[in-house]
Structure formats: C-alpha cells, structure tokens
Amino acid sequence: MIRRQSIGVRATVLFVFFVFAIVLIYASVVRFNIDKPEIDNLPNVGQMAPDFTLKQLDGTSLSLSSLRGKTVLLTFWGTYSGNSRAEISALQQVYEKWKGKGVVIVGVDIGEDPITISGFFASHPATFPVVIDKSRDVTLNTYKIQPIPATFLIDSSGRIRERAVEEMSAETLDQWLVKLGVGA
C-alpha cells in the first residue's frame, strides 16, 4: 500500500512538472512573439512614404508631402514610452547637426494631448517639429506601427530609405544620413 502511494505521488509530481514545463515553453514563445517588433508590417524601404496631415503643437497643420525636397527623419513616439523619452536627446542632437543640410525631423506623438507633450518638452528641450496623432489613425492604420519608437528615413523624393522599430542613437541616425549622401 505504501509503495502504491509512493508511485502515485511520483506520478503526480512528474505530471505537475510536465505541465509546468509546457506552460513555461508556451509562455516564452508567446512573449517572444509579443516583444518582436512588427517591422514586416511597416511600409517598405523603397516605397513612397504614406502621406498624412496632422496638427502641430501650435495648432497649425503639417503634411508630410509638404516636406518633399528635404530629407525627413520621421519618428513615432510617446512621452509614456521610456525608449521614446530616451531617444529625444539623440534626435535633437541630430537635428542641430543636420538641419542646415536639408534634414527635417518630424516627431509624431501618439495619442497624447498638447499639454502633456508641452510639459514633457519643458524638461526635455527639442526644437524639431512635433505633430499629434490623437486618434492614432496614422500610427496604427497608415504606418501600422507597434511598438514604439519607430523611425523612418525618407529621402527628398519621398521614398523610405531606412526604417527601424527601436530606440535610435545619434550615431545610427548620422550613419543613415551619411549613407544616403545628405550634405555631400
């Protein structure tokens, strides 16, 4: 009788261990797929950048197509994203370095109000244009971005030349611009 109970306990322990192992494996696969940037869904390199018109912080409208003839670094971000907040100083550094060479940075804030964004910039100064995608339509439907930050390099003819879904460094952005031949 004791031997039978011992076998039953072992079988139960093995069964629980087996189920736990399967749950861990499943959770790691699901987590990997959630954390994987969805870069395959974004507009492709070589494709014309989808146009949009959004309001800037001062209430004026800005259309991406109005920037044709300039090189555009288009970045989608939000003050609620740690990676986005960390990226702002790199974007400002690149903007200061390249703005005299026909480069414009446009920050697309996702879903926030002007007061929140302005409050953020009070402690994180940036002088490049920022537009607000309050409805998130441009972000989710036009550019299909998730997660953020996401950045596109758009050449002067409006074609996407680089894209990334990650926090960008000033060095990487500089490399993109040099590779494109900006200011050469």
According to the model, what pLDDT value does residue 79 have?
87
According to the model, what pLDDT value does residue 34 have?
37
Domain check: are 12 and 77 in the same one?
no
According to the model, what pLDDT value does residue 36 have?
44
Q: What is the pLDDT of residues 119-158, one digit of tens each?
A: 998 888 889 999 999 999 999 899 998 888 999 999 999 9
* Euclidean distance between CA atoms 99 and 89, whole angstroms: 15
More confident site: 164 or 35: 164
Q: What is the DSSP string of 59-77?
A: S-EEEGGGGTTSEEEEEEE
Domain check: are 29 and 54 in the same one?
no
Domain check: are 22 and 68 in the same one?
no
Domain check: are 113 and 152 in the same one?
yes
Domain with residue 91: its CATH number is 3.40.30.10
Domain check: are 116 and 134 in the same one?
yes
What token pair was written down for 97? 């370095």
Domain check: are 59 and 149 in the same one?
yes
According to the model, what pLDDT value does residue 29 have?
41
Query: pTM to 2 decimals?
Result: 0.77
Residue 70 exposed, middle or buried by CB count within 10 Å (0-12, 13-18, 19+): middle
Total domain count for the chain? 2
Q: What is the pLDDT of residues 19-71, one digit of tens each?
A: 555 654 544 443 333 344 456 677 889 999 999 999 999 999 999 999 999 99
Q: What is the mean pLDDT of residues 71-100?
A: 90
The alpha carbon dihedral of 89, 90, 91, 96 has a sign of positive
According to the model, what pLDDT value does residue 131 have?
96
Domain check: are 2 and 32 in the same one?
yes
Domain check: are 128 and 161 in the same one?
yes
More confident site: 11 or 71: 71
According to the model, what pLDDT value does residue 9 have?
65
Q: What is the mean pLDDT of residues 6-23?
A: 61
Domain check: are 55 and 85 in the same one?
yes
What phi, psi does 134 have (nearest 5°)?
Answer: -60, -40
Domain check: are 70 and 119 in the same one?
yes
Range of the domain at 7: 1-36
Domain check: are 58 and 30 in the same one?
no
Domain check: are 30 and 98 in the same one?
no
Nearest to 62 by CA among 135, 128, 148, 150: 128
- The strand pairing partners of 110, in sequence order, are 133
According to the model, what pLDDT value does residue 7 have?
66
